[in-house]
Amino acid sequence: RSEHSVVSTKQFDISHCFGHKNLHTVQSRRSSSSDIMARISTALLYLCSLVGSTSAFTTPGVVRRAPAFRARSLSAADDATLVAEAVSAPAEPLEPKNVVMLFGRLAEKYIMLDASGGMCCYSACSDCEFRNPDGGYIMADQSASRPKWIPCYDERVFESSGKEHTSKWSTEIFTDGPAVTKEQFVSAITEMSFATPLGGPFVSNSAGKTMENIAAAEFLFDILAGGKEKLTKHRMQTQMKVLSGGEEGLTWPKFSEAMGVA
């Protein structure tokens, strides 16, 4: 074996396996291969059970650190599933049109999609940090004929182009501070203007003007607040980013999925 091997048949340190402060080195004896492998397997089992231990087997003059054990990174889809599972379903199924009335109050016709703030020059630079991993570009901003996105940000500014956008939800829900209670959230939602959005069952502007059923708004607060008594502006944009699957705006397909009416 190489002198830098992680495991040596000459000697190895299993002090961390037993939590001892002093170094206990086991000198190998002339034995069969099966006996050596049994000793190694036993030490490895103890090592694997010690998450957070900073060192592992050592060889003379060589200090080795145990590999860092980290939980698997959750994808945006995993995160969205966890958010949904953490909230109890409404006592009664939500009416799809009532969810549309909620979406049509929060969604907007315009969104700034480029999180870089318009810094990309769109010149196909090979080392550009603002391009997608596949080499494509994120559109700087986008508009639609009807409300399509709930922006996953409170405010965004493109200094290079002189553009800026403040989301509707951030100014009309958080009017008195950076946090709201469930009652304040629902009250603000019902007072917001409605416009027929892109997606979901059709609800006219006149039909959606008044939102008498507040079940959908209450459920959305539960999803965003995650069991807390108050919802902060920062948490709302963070949770919407999760629900959108990492996109800059929450569209009807993802919104309706989160609300359980997809």
Tens-place pLDDT, residues 134-174: 777 667 789 999 999 999 999 998 877 788 999 999 999 99
Tens-digit pLDDT profile for residues 85-128: 457 777 789 999 999 999 999 999 999 987 666 667 777 787 77
- Tens of pLDDT along 196-226? 999 999 999 999 999 999 999 999 999 999 9
Select from 212, 231, 194 the least CA-distant residue to 103: 194
* DSSP character string of 43-76: HHHHHHT-TT------BTTB---PPPP-PPPPPH
Q: How many angstroms separate the CA atoms of 133 and 203, rounded?
A: 39
